[in-house]
Amino acid sequence: MRFSLLPLLLLALAPLAAREPGAVWRAPLTPERIAALADPHGAAAPTLARALAAAAEVLPLQAAAVSPVPLFPLAVAPAPKAGLGQALAQHADFAGAQADDYETFAAAARRLLAGGPLPRHPADATARRWQDLGATLVREVAAARAALPAGSVAPAGFDALATDLQVLAALCRYHSRRSLAAIHYSLFKRGLRLAELLAATYTEREVVAAWRDLVHVAGDRYPPDVAAHWRAVLKSLEVNLRELEEQCCPPDEAIAKEKVWAPGYGLQPAAGDAPAKN
C-alpha cells in the first residue's frame, strides 16, 4: 500500500501560504483547509473558521448564480455578458449561469408582476443570500480581531487572511445590491414605470459604493494586475452609474413618491459597513 505525504505537506504549508494575499480563494476551502488556515491564530481561530466557512460559499455561488466564467479575482476581464463592471442593462439581461436552478432577473420581473410559482432559487432570495454571507464575513472578522489579546501582535498571516475575507465581504455586498438593481431595472423594462428605473439607479449607487469598499480594503496588497483590474471595474461602474442617473435624475416629485417593489427583508447598509483598511 502506497502512502503519500503530499496532503500532509500541503496542510503543513497552509499557514505559510496564508501569509500571502489571495490565500482564501487560491484553492477550495475544504474543512481541512479551513482548519489549517484558522488554527494558527490562537484565540481568533474559531471566529476565523466561521468566516472561512462562509467564504467557502462565495465563489461557488457566483459560479452558479452569476457566471460559470471565473470573474474574481482574475485580472483578465471575461466575456462582456459576465463582466463585473458591465452596465446595469447588460447585467439585467444576463441569462444566468444555471437558468434551471437560479432565476434570471427578467424571470423575476415577470413573476413579481404577473404572479406564478417560486423557482428553486428566486433572484431576490439569492440577493439575500449574498447579503447574509457578506454580513457574516464582516461580523466574524471583527470578532476575530476582538479575540486577539489586547496589545499583542497579530499572528503571522492574520492581516492577509482578514483582508481576503473583507474583500470577499465587499464582493458579496456588490452582488447583493447588483441583483436588486437588476430586478428593479427589469421591472422598469416590463412595466415602463420610471419609479422602478429610479429605484434601480439608487440601488446602483450602493453597488458602486460596495465595489469602492472592495478597492479601498484591497489597497496595494494584491498583485498590480489584479489591483488594476479591480480599479478598472470601479471606473466602469462609476461611468455606467452616471449614464443611468442622466436618464432619471433629478426625478419628478410624483415619480419619487411612487411605490416600488422592495425585497421582503431588511437591507444591511451598503456603504460604511466594511471594516476599515488595516
Return the residue matching grid coordinates 437558468: 99
pLDDT score of 119: 83
pLDDT beyond 90 at 262: no
Question: CA angle, corner 111, sides to 99 and 90, nearest 5?
Answer: 55
Strand partners, 102: 121
pLDDT score of 191: 83
pLDDT score of 71: 63
Residue among 15, 189, 13 nearest 91 (CA): 189
Q: Name 10's Cβ contacts closer than 8 Å, sequence gap at least 6.
A: none
* Percentage with pLDDT > 70 across the chain: 79
Tell me the three state secondary structure of residue 121.
strand
* Among the ranges given (53-67, 181-195, 200-214, 245-259), the one the predictor scored with the smallest mean pLDDT: 245-259
Average pLDDT over residues 182-188: 94
Rounded Cα distance between 132 and 72, Å, is: 19
pLDDT score of 69: 63
The verdict on whether omega for the bond into residue 68 sits within 30 degrees of 0, i.e. cis, is: no
The verdict on pTM exceeding 0.75 is yes
Strand partners, 190: none
Rounded Cα distance between 121 and 64, Å, is: 11
Residue among 98, 107, 89 nearest 67 (CA): 98
pLDDT score of 6: 42
pLDDT score of 7: 42
117-168 per-position pLDDT tens digit:
888 889 999 999 999 999 999 999 999 999 988 877 778 789 999 999 999 9
Instruction: Tell me how long the chain is.
Output: 278
Rounded Cα distance between 17 and 98, Å, is: 33
pLDDT band at residue 68 under the 50/70/90 scheme: low
Higher pLDDT, 206 or 13: 206
Listed ranges 62-76, 178-192, 260-274; the one with the highest mean pLDDT: 178-192
pLDDT beyond 70 at 99: no
- On average, the pLDDT of the chain sits at 81
Question: CA angle, corner 255, sides to 196 and 182, nearest 5?
Answer: 10
pLDDT score of 76: 42
* Among the ranges given (27-31, 153-157, 239-243, 269-273), the one the predictor scored with the smallest mean pLDDT: 269-273
* Among the ranges given (49-53, 153-157, 177-181, 265-269), the one the predictor scored with the smallest mean pLDDT: 265-269
pLDDT score of 116: 79
Write phi, then psi, for 98 (nearest 5 degrees).
-135, 75
Domain layout of the chain by residue ranges: 19-66+80-257
Helix axes 31-38, 45-65, angle to 10 degrees: 140
Question: CA angle, corner 168, sides to 162 and 172, nearest 5?
Answer: 140
Question: CA angle, corner 59, sides to 80 and 185, nearest 5?
Answer: 50
